[in-house]
Every structure is written in C-alpha cells, then in structure tokens.
C-alpha cells in the first residue's frame, strides 16, 4: 500500500521496478550528443509509412515491442499499456494499441506524458492490478509542426525561443517482480495545472516552467528531502529558456538545484550546430532520454537516485485563437537503485 506524504506526493512501498526500456528516435536525434545512447535510430523518419502520423504510430509500436522484448516477455504477459502522445485523439497511441493485444488506457498530458503514464503505471502495479505494465509515449517533429503550428511546406522562420519537437518514442516496463538489479519507483508527485498567462506558442518553455517549479517545490516540501538527495534532477523539455527560468524561480523558494539539474530538451540536441534554437520538446524528448541515457546509468550505478519531471503545455490549435493562455503541467517520478 502506498503512503500519502504531504499534499501531492505518494511513496510506493511495493517498489515497482522499471525492468526494461526501449527508445527509438529519428535521424536528427541520432546525430545529436546522445546518439550512442538510444536503442534504435531510424534512417528515415517516415518509417516506411505514408504520413507523418502513421510514422509516429509505427515508431511508438517499435518502442513498445522493443520494451516487451527487452523484458524477455510476450505481449500476452503484459496486463496494461498506458500510452499517450501529442496528436489529436492520440492517433499514435490508439493505432499502436490496435496492433497489439494488450488492454489499453490512453492518457494525455502533452509533453508530460512520460511521467504521467509512468505515475499511473506505478499506481497500477502498487494496487496489485498489474504485474507487468507498460508506460509509453511518442512525438514526431513533422506531425506536431503541422498540427500545432504551420505546415512545414510554408518554411516559416522559427523564433529564437522556439523548441524542436523530438521525433522519438520511449516505452518502459513497470513490474511488481523484484528484479533487484533494476531501478524502482519510490515517489510520485502529481502536478496541478498552472497558468501564468503566456500566450505565445513559441514560448512553451516559459509556459511550462512555472508548472515544473510548482511540482519540484511541492516534491521537496512533501518529502522533506533536499535537492542533493538526488544524483540527478531532470526536467522533460523546458529547453534552454525554460531551464534557466526554472532554476531562477526555484531559488526564490530557497531550492538550489543548479548542481545536479539537467533538462532532456537541453541535452538531446547540439542547438548551435543543429539549428534547434532553444532545444528539444515533445513527449518523445523525456521518454527517449530517460529510457536510454539515464536508465543505462541507473543500471550501471552511476546514478543512484533520479527525479524525473516531464512537463506539458496543455494548449490546442484553437485555444490560443480563442484568446486563451497556455496552461502547463508537470508530474514528478523518483526512481532509485537500491540495495534491496
């Protein structure tokens, strides 16, 4: 049974383990600084499909199958799959789930999907409902651009604060089986929607930063831990601009994370040479970085404790046209490698 700690945090007592992961990214991500970390780098981001959306769904499918295979399981062993993506009505997740035979729960938290699905997968295992449960998500640059911003064919100039949606998918297998050489979920801090009035869809980092700050602050308040408890505090896709805002805002609460803080969107590209402006974004960003680079270093003991905070901007293509600002959300999941 989980224990509620403070206002927004729970401690999972059953140690749901992340027993496998799989990540797949597009060619651009495969040329970035983390190129040797991913399980699979696509040569062609169309993935032999007819549309960007179908390509994203296929990539999502590859990640899920890879995750099942890495756990040395079959589809029929898996009790639930919790999945989400950025596309309208979860095109990528729904059509991925059509091609597998696993009970499916669709989720939407924009780019916070990785920790949103991972949180619920953790709860599901903790409740005894699931023995093997997948959390997965995906995003695709070209599908996201034409849905949220402009058709690529227009060749619009990108704002300096704009981020580049990661073409990538990640899946993680959460299990009650105590494989002691695998990391487990300790704390879950579920975020509230925060809106500080940012209206420019090219300022997603700034729109999401207050949500990240709120969830990180609440996590430390609830757990009474200090930031140096973690070897690594990782936000999902705030990019350079959002990362810098997050650091500064947290200092106002006397929380200094600068020594052990990275942002997946800041790590995945070489912004200067890859033209990605403020860095990476999209659900696939934290999914592919957590499922590869960070997960590998949890396995080899380089990191013992990691706090992952994926961040989402809950706009759609018509909400800014109706005069609405961009609400943000962030969910935190703590993952640890322990002795027991």
8 Å CB contact between 167 and 117: no
x/- mask, its own copies, residues 151-190, rule CB under 8 A, reads -------------------------------------x-x
Q: Judged by CB under 8 A, does residue 191 bind its own copies? A: yes
Tokens 């060619």 belong to: 27
Interface residue with its own copies, options 19, 25, 78, 124 (CB under 8 A) = 124
Task: Output the CA–CA distances (angstroms, integers) from residue 129 to 121, 133, 320, in the order listed.
Answer: 10, 9, 40
Q: Judged by CB under 8 A, does residue 307 bind its own copies? A: no
How far apart are the C-alpha atoms of 144 and 203, rounded to whole Å? 15
Binding to its own copies (CB under 8 A): which residues in 34-63?
50-51, 53-54
DSSP state of 28: T
Stretch that binds its own copies, among 62-70, 104-112, 198-206, 241-249 (CB under 8 A): 104-112
x/- mask, its own copies, residues 83-102, rule CB under 8 A, reads -x-xxxxxx--xx-xx--xx
Binding to its own copies (CB under 8 A): which residues in 309-328?
314-319, 322, 324, 327
Distance in Å, CB of 122 to its own copies, minimum: 8
Interface residue with its own copies, options 32, 109, 183, 227 (CB under 8 A) = 109
DSSP state of 179: -
8 Å CB contact between 146 and 321: no
Closest among 296, 291, 239 to 262, alpha carbons compared: 239
End-to-end Cα separation, the chain, in angstroms: 18
φ, ψ dihedrals at 13, nearest 5°: -90, -20
Structure tokens at 91: 């095109």
Binding interface with its own copies (CB under 8 A): 1-4, 8, 10, 12, 50-51, 53-54, 79-80, 84, 86-91, 94-95, 97-98, 101-110, 116, 119-120, 123-124, 126-129, 131, 188, 190-193, 195, 314-319, 322, 324, 327, 329, 331
């Amino acid at each position: 049974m989980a224990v509620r700690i403070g206002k927004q945090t729970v401690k999972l007592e059953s140690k749901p383990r992340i027993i496998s992961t799989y990540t797949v990214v597009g060619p651009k991500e495969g040329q970035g600084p983390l190129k040797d970390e991913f399980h699979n780098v696509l040569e062609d981001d169309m993935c032999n499909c007819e549309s960007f959306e179908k390509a994203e769904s296929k990539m999502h499918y590859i990640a899920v199958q890879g995750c099942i295979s890495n756990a040395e399981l079959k589809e029929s062993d898996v009790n639930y799959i919790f999945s989400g993506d950025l596309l309208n009505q979860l095109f990528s997740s729904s059509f991925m789930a059509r091609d597998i035979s696993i009970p499916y729960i669709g989720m939407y938290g924009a780019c916070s999907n990785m920790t949103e699905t991972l949180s619920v997968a953790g709860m599901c295992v903790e409740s005894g409902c699931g023995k093997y449960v997948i959390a997965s998500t995906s995003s695709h640059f070209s599908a996201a651009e034409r849905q949220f911003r402009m058709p690529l064919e227009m060749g619009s100039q990108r704002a300096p604060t704009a981020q580049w949606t990661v073409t990538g998918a990640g899946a993680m297998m959460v299990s009650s089986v105590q494989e002691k050489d695998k990391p487990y979920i300790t704390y879950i801090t579920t975020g509230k929607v925060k809106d500080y009035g940012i209206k420019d869809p090219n300022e997603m980092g700034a729109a999401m930063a207050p949500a990240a700050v709120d969830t990180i602050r609440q996590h430390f308040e609830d757990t009474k831990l200090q930031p140096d408890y973690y070897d690594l505090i990782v936000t999902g896709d705030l990019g350079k601009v959002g990362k810098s805002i997050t650091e500064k805002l947290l200092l106002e609460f006397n929380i200094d994370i600068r020594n052990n803080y990275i942002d997946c969107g800041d790590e995945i590209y070489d912004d200067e040479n890859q033209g990605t402006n403020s860095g990476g974004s999209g659900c696939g960003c934290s999914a592919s970085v957590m499922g590869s680079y960070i997960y590998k270093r949890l396995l080899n003991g380089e990191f013992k404790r990691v706090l992952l905070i994926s961040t989402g901007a809950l706009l759609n293509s018509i909400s800014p046209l109706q005069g609405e600002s961009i609400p943000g959300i962030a969910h935190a999941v703590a993952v640890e490698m322990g002795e027991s």
